Amino acid sequence: MKSWRQIRHATLFLAAFTSTVAFVSHLSGYPEIGPLKEKLRYFERFKDNYEIVFIGSSRVYRGVIPTVFDDQMSSHGLSVKSFNFAMAGMKAHEANALVRRVLAMKPARLAWIIVEAGDWDPVIHKENRFKGRGIFWHDAPETWSALGSTLLLDDSLATRADLLTTHGLHFAARWLAVGRGPDAARSLFVQDKEPATDPLIAEWQGFKPYTESSYKYNPLRKRFLQNLDKYREAVTRLQPTEASRTAEATPRRSYSRPYNRAAVRGQIAMVRQAGVLPVHLITPTPRATPELDRLAREGHFQAHLAFNRPRAYPKLFEVERRFDHEHLTHEGALLFTRLLATRFATEVVTNDSDAVD
């Protein structure tokens, strides 16, 4: 009798708990993570206008201008509309969760997702733990993937246990709607039915140009200008390997790991299943990417566009077109976008008649 009562109480507790969590989650919507919420809101309204989306880190965010890309594509006789979903600091797992979210919106005309190729490293550094952004990409498939990658790391057992716990807690925090109360309360009590869209998103289609003050005060730019020799050295080091990229020097947690291959395969399968073609992009970074090159040679990518080639694209690596070591100035972004569109039109679209149809 007593144990039945206890079971009844436990059931009532769980029912009330889960229904409250579900209610809070339902009300709170997408969290405020940089410009992403605005971008998602905007894209959701106009999703059926787009054929192409770009997803990746700040290298894509500050480097690919959708309006320029579309113009260049039309010069190749292809009429497309694209949107830049990239955001500073976005790594592979987060990008993949975003890919999943974009596909879930079922944009009617979406034909290609151009995603920055990166490392599927499951490590979350201590300073980045339990931030809204890290929590939100921990949906079930992505957490599962990150847990699998963690198990395959060759770090100590303690490090792996810590990472497994961290991913598990991020997942739990997401599904228990931890910290989402203020957003839920806002949606309940503040009339915000049709929020104004950031005019910059409509104007630049998700791309964000650097401001005047960024050119003057950005610490990364300052450091870059003070250490131009290092940059030039990095570019010079990159050139000899360009013609014959080998996979000899494979750094830790690289694509050559089984989990990385599995993750890329999973991403491609997911995108393909939605009737969209995934294209992996390496931006004009002055770093060699032997693992990605090897993966490309082995045919793991569906389509692959690499721009970290100073010999092939010398202008992209000229100091005047660099904002800093990793990023391009506006002029550099214009050039990169045109080059990207040209390669995309000639190498990808022509080989993908299905997608063009």
Partner 1 sequence: MLFTQPIFFVFFAIVLTVVWTSRQNHHRKAALLAASYVFYAAWDWRFLSLIVASTLVDYMAVNGMKQCRLETSRRRWLQLSLVFNLGMLGFFKYFNFFVGHRVLEIVLPVGISFFTFQTMSYTIDVYRRRLEPAENWLDFALFVGFFPQLVAGPIVRAAHFLPQLERSPSFSSIQTRRFLTLFLVGFVKKTCIADNVAPYVDQVFADPGIFTAASVWIAVTFYAVQIYCDFSGYTDMAIACAGLLGYDLGRNFRFPYLASDLTEFWRRWHISLSAWLRDYLYIPLGGSRGSRLWTYRNLLLTMLLGGLWHGAAWTFVAWGGLHGAGLVLHKEWTRRSAHLHRIRGTLAFKLLGTAMTFYFVCCAWIFFRAQSFGDAAVLLKAFVWLDTGGTVALDMHLFAALLTLGLLHWISSQARLERFLDRLSGGSFAAGYGMATALALAFVPMRSAPFIYFQF
Q: Which positions lie near partner 1, rule CB under 8 A?
A: 5, 8-10, 12-21, 24, 130-132, 135, 169, 172, 176-182, 184
For partner 1, the closer of residues 175 and 204 by Cβ is 175
For partner 1, the closer of residues 181 and 258 by Cβ is 181
Question: In the 8-state DSSP scheme, what is residue 84?
Answer: E
For partner 1, the closer of residues 138 and 253 by Cβ is 138
**Minimum CB distance to partner 1, residue 21 (Å):** 5
**Minimum CB distance to partner 1, residue 202 (Å):** 28
**Minimum CB distance to partner 1, residue 179 (Å):** 5
Question: In the 8-state DSSP scheme, what is residue 347?
Answer: I
> Are 337 and 68 within 8 A, CB to CB?
yes
The residue type of 75 is S
**Minimum CB distance to partner 1, residue 98 (Å):** 19
CA atoms within 13 A on the CB side of 213: 0
For partner 1, the closer of residues 8 and 252 by Cβ is 8
For partner 1, the closer of residues 162 and 242 by Cβ is 162
**Minimum CB distance to partner 1, residue 73 (Å):** 40
Q: How far is residue 67's CA from residue 57's CA, in Å, rounded to a whole number?
A: 19
For partner 1, the closer of residues 162 and 352 by Cβ is 162
> Are 279 and 114 within 8 A, CB to CB?
yes
For partner 1, the closer of residues 163 and 328 by Cβ is 163
The residue type of 161 is A
For partner 1, the closer of residues 7 and 105 by Cβ is 7
> Are 206 and 102 within 8 A, CB to CB?
no
**Minimum CB distance to partner 1, residue 183 (Å):** 9
Nearest to 224 by CA among 332, 121, 86: 332
The angle at the Cα of 333, spanning 332 to 335, to the nearest 5 degrees, equals: 65
If phi > 0 it is left, if psi is from -120 to 50 it is alpha, else beta; for residue 130 that is left
123 φ/ψ angles, rounded to the nearest 5 degrees: -70, 130
**Minimum CB distance to partner 1, residue 59 (Å):** 26
Residue 79 CA: distances (Å) to CA of 38, 69, 222, 345: 26, 10, 40, 11
Question: In the 8-state DSSP scheme, what is residue 322?
Answer: B
For partner 1, the closer of residues 15 and 312 by Cβ is 15
**Minimum CB distance to partner 1, residue 138 (Å):** 13
Side-by-side strand order, sheet with 277-282: 82-84, 52-55, 112-116, 277-282, 304-306
**Minimum CB distance to partner 1, residue 337 (Å):** 35
Q: How far is residue 81's CA from residue 66's CA, in Å, rounded to a whole number?
A: 8
For partner 1, the closer of residues 13 and 217 by Cβ is 13
- Strand intervals (E) in 203-324: 277-282, 304-306
**Minimum CB distance to partner 1, residue 156 (Å):** 18
Q: Which helix (H) or strand (E) covers residue 55, if one does?
A: strand 52-55
What is the Cα 321 distance to its own chain's centre? 23
